[in-house]
Amino acid sequence: MRLNNLLKAKLHHARVTYADPEYVGSIQIDADLMAAVGLMEGEHVHVWAVDHTSRIETYAFSGPKGVVGLNGGAAHFFKPGDRIVVAAFCLSDEPVVPKVVLLDEGNNIVRDLTPFSVTG
């Protein structure tokens, strides 16, 4: 069996609502957004800046409506208002249809970008 590391979830153009270097690590994400793309509490995620070059890896935990906040060391790479992409991957030996959503400035889902199928 060969496992591939495949995209499973993506929040596209999320807006950072806060950056707190005093908090103990991670990214806090609106619980509804996490559920919409299937992110789990404590899941390993990649965070990529849209408008500059910062890229980090951390873990996600749920928060209140509209919140996407970076904590601890991650807070030094982003500031409120930055557009980011949050992505999670999974190991699978079968095709995975990633759940992808586009967000507006208030971190509301404006469009489902989930592909209809994945061809192997």
Kindly list the catalytic residues: 26, 59
Q: How far, in Å, CA of 85 to CA of 101, rounded?
A: 10
Contact 113, 23 (CB under 8 A): no
Q: How far, in Å, CA of 109 to CA of 33, rounded?
A: 8
> What contacts 53, CB < 8 A, 6 or more positions away?
none
**3-state SS, residue 100:** strand
Write down how long the chain is: 120
